[in-house]
Copies of this chain bind each other. A is one copy, B any other.
């Protein structure tokens, strides 16, 4: 049975909603160039897929589609949505929906600011400092949600009240994407330079895509730039 749901972070998930095609779809889209079509995937197709990926002939990989339902913190979606090519997103709206309590991300461990790489992190914040960080983080998010509820209670519209909610708040998204675009997302976001939190989502997506298009995904990832 294919993998259709994986838990990610403390409250998130990636679910496969639907998909179109298989490794064979890539091969058949490519073979239209020389007027051929196959019903069963075989060894020769593996060679063709490898050739396409090596030579940057990416269009056959886009005759595929997957829809995922994802729950992730807003700061993760802000990175995710930079991937716009062959990607469609529909997100839960904070104008319609009142946010429930405790639906924010809390890190299990806090990482230290990296010294050389200005945008990265390294090691962990240990001991007392770590405990303090955890308490501050949790308290600030809880308080923000409580104050948000008070604003709603005072009659303030949801679209304004949400301004005080934290960037770690969970949201939900429908994401429809071609295999090529999914592979690009996986490549960039499983990279060690990506933020650890989005890496966890990228690994989950990778595990699901691997079951659907194993050979095509392998070829795309192997032939990516170093």
Partner of A166 from the list B105, B111, B144, B173 (CB cut-off 8 Å) is B144
The answer to the question of A41 belonging to the interface, with a C-beta cut-off of 8 Å to chain B, is: no
**Contact indicator A154/B167 (Cβ below 8 Å):** no
| Chain B residue with Cβ nearest A141 | B164
Copies of this chain present in the complex amount to 4
With contacts A132-B154, A174-B29 known, is A21 near B112, CB below 8 A?
no
| Chain B residue with Cβ nearest A61 | B88
- When distances are taken between beta carbons in the complex, the residues of chain B under 8 Å from A168 are 163-164
With contacts A67-B20, A111-B157 known, is A91 near B137, CB below 8 A?
no
**Contact indicator B90/A29 (Cβ below 8 Å):** yes
**Contact indicator A63/B92 (Cβ below 8 Å):** no
**Contact indicator A156/B111 (Cβ below 8 Å):** yes
Q: Which chain A residues numbered 90 to 123 have a C-beta less than 8 Å away from chain B? A: 90-97, 104-105, 107, 110-114, 118-121
**Contact indicator B90/A30 (Cβ below 8 Å):** yes
**Contact indicator A92/B140 (Cβ below 8 Å):** no
Measured in the bound complex, the distance between the Cα atoms of B36 and A97 in whole Å is 11
Measured in the bound complex, the distance between the Cα atoms of B159 and A75 in whole Å is 9
Number of interface residues of A (CB under 8 A): 93
The answer to the question of A50 belonging to the interface, with a C-beta cut-off of 8 Å to chain B, is: no
Measured in the bound complex, the distance between the Cα atoms of B29 and A154 in whole Å is 32
Measured in the bound complex, the distance between the Cα atoms of B39 and A130 in whole Å is 43
Measured in the bound complex, the distance between the Cα atoms of B37 and A3 in whole Å is 20
With contacts A67-B25, A93-B33 known, is A165 near B163, CB below 8 A?
no
Interface of A toward B, CB cutoff 8 Å: 17-21, 25, 28-30, 32-35, 37, 56, 59-60, 62-65, 67, 69, 73-75, 78, 81-82, 84-86, 88-97, 104-105, 107, 110-114, 118-121, 125, 129, 132-133, 136-137, 139-141, 143-144, 147-148, 150-152, 154-160, 162-169, 172-174, 176, 178, 188, 195, 225
Given contacts A112-B156, A137-B163, A144-B144, 4 further A-B contacts (CB under 8 A): A63-B174, A110-B157, A111-B157, A125-B156
